[in-house]
């Protein structure tokens, strides 16, 4: 497993109803090859002196279960698979809150499945599993998923998400539609992974720690 600092930005735009938009910098951690498919276990929980991850939560368990169902359904050999994770880690100071974290199931560096693990302000969790029937996910196509829970006080529980995923470079576009298929919310996350040393490493570790509170 390799740990990198993820530096990016999030653009959020409400285009229907109560209109607004904003953009902010986003600091997180990107974990490369985090799961051992041969032994069906994560490689490690604690990966540095100050950061760690929880793997006992319902979202993680449901994600791994959904991946195994996907592999069995599409008769995909787990050989050469790797699982990456974009998520704010816990620090020695705080437990991180992640409204959403993203899992990337890859084979030969191509994304086979994308999983959004979403937590709303009520503490409810749902995963949205995006795949292309066992083929590589195309960065040019929007993939649909049915909305399962509230994530905003300004939007209904029901509706449709459309995901557009690119890994090289990393960019995720999420469009939220209401039951009438009218676009309500447009969100774009994009960023790059970096490995820093010295003062830069300390600075970005500090930014990740601060971001765990937000």
- The domain segmentation of the chain, as residue ranges, is 2-211
β partners of residue 143:
163
Band (pLDDT 50/70/90 cuts) for residue 21 is very high
Residue located via tokens 């990337």: 104
The confidence score (pLDDT) of residue 43 equals 86
Q: What is the mean pLDDT of the chain?
A: 89
Phi-psi region of 108 (alpha: psi -120 to 50; beta: other; left: phi over 0): left
Highest average pLDDT, of 90-94, 147-151, 209-213, comes from 90-94
Asked if residue 136 has pLDDT above 70, the reply is yes
β partners of residue 47:
none
Asked if residue 157 has pLDDT above 80, the reply is no
6 within 8 A of 191, measured Cβ to Cβ: yes
Mean pLDDT of 178-197: 92
Beta strands in the chain (DSSP E): 2-14, 20-32, 35-36, 41-42, 51-52, 81-87, 90-91, 100-107, 110-119, 125-131, 143-146, 160-167, 170-177, 183-194
pLDDT in tens, 33-55: 999 999 999 987 666 778 888 88
């Amino acid at each position: 497993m390799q740990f990198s600092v993820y530096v990016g930005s999030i653009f959020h735009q409400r285009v229907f109803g109560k209109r607004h938009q904003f953009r902010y910098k986003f600091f997180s951690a990107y974990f490369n090859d985090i799961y051992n498919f041969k032994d069906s276990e994560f490689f490690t929980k604690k990966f540095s002196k100050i950061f760690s991850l929880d793997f006992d939560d319902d979202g993680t368990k449901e994600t791994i279960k959904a991946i195994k169902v996907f592999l069995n359904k599409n008769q995909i050999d787990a050989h050469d698979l790797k699982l990456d994770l974009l998520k704010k880690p816990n620090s020695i100071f705080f437990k991180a809150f992640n409204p959403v974290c993203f899992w990337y199931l890859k084979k030969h560096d191509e994304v086979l499945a994308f999983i959004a693990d979403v937590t709303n302000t009520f503490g409810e969790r749902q995963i949205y599993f995006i795949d292309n029937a066992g083929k590589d996910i195309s960065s040019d196509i929007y993939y649909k998923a049915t909305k399962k829970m509230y994530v905003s006080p300004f939007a209904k529980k029901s509706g449709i998400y459309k995901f557009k995923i690119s890994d090289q470079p990393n960019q995720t576009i999420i469009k939220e539609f209401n039951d009438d298929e009218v676009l309500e919310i447009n969100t774009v996350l994009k960023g790059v992974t970096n490995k820093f040393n010295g003062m830069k490493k300390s600075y970005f570790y500090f930014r990740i720690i601060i971001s765990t509170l937000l």
